Structure 1
Amino acid sequence: MIIRPRPFDHPDAVKLNDEVQLEYAERYDGDGDETPLDPSMFRPPRGLYLLAYDERERPVATGGWRSMDENGEGYADGDAELKRMYVVREARGQGLARRVLARLEEDARAAGRRRMVLETGTKQPEAIALYLSSGYEPCERFGLYRHHEDSRCFAKLLMGQ
């Protein structure tokens, strides 16, 4: 697998984002994640978006982080928010999400971010298991879905590691 930085609006990123939105809609009986995202949010040094490709150059996994600071939605100064972690169904179970996650954490740490935060939901148990096994702990809810019953938020300190 090859992991490459790509713009959030790169055609391969758009393709996988469309797929993950369909999966969110399917799992939660809704329209997907409605968090407003803009490609500029993932531009270094204030963010990064990664795509993983298989040996045939097909995009199979994605994830990004964006800088967030205190804004009244539960974020804290120095936060890096994880967004759009996704692995296509046929490539799951190979550790791709864990590899993308590690690269994103490393980059956010190098950018001076203090804490990686993420929001997921109760209907994504495999995501929750990944984050818990990667050192994330439940935290106070933040972001667009902070008042939703199914929302679960996690954080991991990046500084001092």
Structure 2
Amino acid sequence: MTDSFLYTTPNAEISRPLIEQLTVEYRNRYGNYFGEDSSAEMNRYPPERFADPDGAFVLLLRDGKPIAGGAFMRYDDTTAEFKRMWTDIDHRRQGLAQRVLAELESRAAAKGYSRVYLTTGFRQPEAAKLYLKSGYTALFDVAADPETIQILPFEKVLAPAGIHPGSRNDHLSAPAA
């Protein structure tokens, strides 16, 4: 069993199974709750928004098959907006979303972003839990009923590329005498 990351586009053939699953999931969870078919969210942004130089679309492959993925696009000059986080229905509860999230954070930092902004819907409590567990700050009252908020925003400050939060900078200290 070999896992690897592949940077591609949302409309690449290899991306299709995950994109289709995510579209169905949005439809099942939200239907027309927001006044339009929930699959409209999948077409809200052109694929180019998730491509170089300002964005990225990544798949986590296992033995060449996509099992999880996510993307980001420019939100503003210093902020990447994460979108399309998804784990294949047959591969859940293996920490894959956490791995994709960390990969996206690393890539966003490498592109010079210092902050991440993202939203999830009120019917996706597992996503909200993931973001809180991963150091994201909720930009809403977490004690409130999520349905009254509907769109749940989060943010996180990124460490500069190559710097790992909490790591020691031993290489910067003077050599021992």
Q: Same fold (TM over 0.5)?
A: yes
Structure 2 length as normaliser, TM-score? Answer: 0.76
CA distance in 1, matches of 2:39, 2:127: 15
Match of 2:16 in 1: 14
**TM-fit CA distance, 1:159:** 4.1
**TM-fit CA distance, 1:62:** 1.1
- For 1:60, give the aligned amino acid: I
Structure 1 length as normaliser, TM-score? Answer: 0.83
**TM-fit CA distance, 1:15:** 2.7
Matched, 1:23 2:31: no
Secondary structure at the residue paired with 1:156? strand
**Deviations 1:76-103 (CA, angstroms, capped at 9, x unpaired):** x411010100001110011111111101
Q: If you compute each CA radius of gyration, which structure gives the higher value, 1 or 2?
A: 2
Secondary structure at the residue paired with 1:135? coil
Secondary structure at the residue paired with 1:99? helix
Q: What's the C-alpha RMSD, in Å, of the aligned pairs?
A: 1.7
Secondary structure at the residue paired with 1:34? helix
CA distance in 2, matches of 1:112, 1:49: 16
Match of 2:38 in 1: 32
Contact 1:23–1:32 under 8 Å retained in 2: no
Match of 2:74 in 1: 67
CA distance in 2, matches of 1:37, 1:81: 12
**TM-fit CA distance, 1:149:** 3.5
Runs of 4 or more consecutive aligned structure 1 residues displaced over 6 Å after TM superposition: none
Change over 3 Å in CA distance of 1:33–1:138 after alignment to 2? farther
Contact 2:57–2:70 under 8 Å retained in 1: yes
Give ranges in structure 2 of 5+ residues lacking alignment: 141-147, 166-177
Q: Greater helix percent: which structure? A: 2
Match of 1:158 in 2: 158
Equivalent of 2:57 in 43, 49, 54: 49
Match of 2:89 in 1: 89
Match of 2:7 in 1: 5
**Deviations 1:117-147 (CA, angstroms, capped at 9, x unpaired):** 111012111101110000001126xxxxxxx
Secondary structure at the residue paired with 1:25? helix
Match of 1:124 in 2: 124
